[in-house]
Amino acid sequence: MNRTIARLTMRGLLSPRRLMLLSLIPLVLLAVAGLLRGLAEGLEIDTATTILSSLAIGTVLPLIALICGTGAIATEIDDGSVVYLLAKPIGRPTIVLTKYLVALFGTILLAVVPTAIAAFILAGADKGIVLGFTASALVGALGYSALFLLLGVVTRHAVVVGLLYVLIWESLVGGAVPGAQALSIQQWSLSIGEKIAADGLIASAVSLPVGASLLTAVALFGLYFAVQRLRSLTLAGEQ
């Protein structure tokens, strides 16, 4: 990890104005949680977990991770300022790892923490729901951040590709085709929560060993390929 790169990335990614705009996404989650809690006196636990699965883990988390993961590197590659990082005697793994940690920090701040708060508002402290969803969000952040960071290095259309993955594959296809769920970061993340929370409260399409190993694999491969790709990055637009 390189402190200067972390500082530069952080200032680019989470400037006060951006932070304010990005906060709107978790604020919606918290508002929905608060409203449901206030309106429905005896809120069904099932309703709470459904909201948390689909809105917190299924929407807010990947969206924030996408913005932070691609924003941590794709913007610099796009406008060419990444040259000031690359023209330095710094190992490419250090650059990628630092960017990853910053993206992760942003995702934890704007998605994982709000998920924990929303879970607490909706379900209270018992039955391991808060812990379950927080853990799911955290491991999900680890996977998504690596994947979206890689997308940022690989393609100039990282945001579009990332959105397609989240909206089409995970939400649409994953919702309709059971097999597709086995290949979804969302489901892998929920497999951790399923294990932590009381029986049957959090549902995942995959078992914990499968989810955990696939998630680890995606995170590691994502970072590895991002390093490889950055090593051979040809700065576009030079002609």
Q: Which residues bind another protein (CB under 8 A)?
A: 2-5, 7-8, 11-12, 15, 79-81, 83-92, 231-235, 237-239
Judged by beta carbon, residue 1 or residue 198, the one nearer another protein is: 1
For 181-213, b/e burial (b = at least 16 CB within 10 A) is bebbbbbbbbbbbbbbbeeebbebbbeeeebbe
| Distance from C-alpha of 161 to C-alpha of 167, rounded to nearest angstrom | 10
Judged by beta carbon, residue 169 or residue 225, the one nearer another protein is: 225
| Distance from C-alpha of 175 to C-alpha of 172, rounded to nearest angstrom | 5
Least distance (Å) between residue 76 CB and another protein: 8
Least distance (Å) between residue 80 CB and another protein: 4
Residue 121's closest CA among 111, 129, 112, 132?
129
Structure tokens at 204: 């995942």
| Distance from C-alpha of 79 to C-alpha of 76, rounded to nearest angstrom | 5
Least distance (Å) between residue 226 CB and another protein: 15
Judged by beta carbon, residue 20 or residue 87, the one nearer another protein is: 87
Judged by beta carbon, residue 89 or residue 200, the one nearer another protein is: 89
238 burial level (CB within 10 Å; 0-12, 13-18, 19+)? exposed
Judged by beta carbon, residue 15 or residue 47, the one nearer another protein is: 15
Least distance (Å) between residue 6 CB and another protein: 11
| Distance from C-alpha of 162 to C-alpha of 140, rounded to nearest angstrom | 15
Judged by beta carbon, residue 5 or residue 226, the one nearer another protein is: 5
Distances (CA, A) of 18 to 55, 59, 68, 113: 22, 19, 11, 18
| Distance from C-alpha of 66 to C-alpha of 148, rounded to nearest angstrom | 6
Least distance (Å) between residue 169 CB and another protein: 31
Least distance (Å) between residue 109 CB and another protein: 19
Does residue 197 contact residue 127 with C-beta atoms inside 8 Å? yes
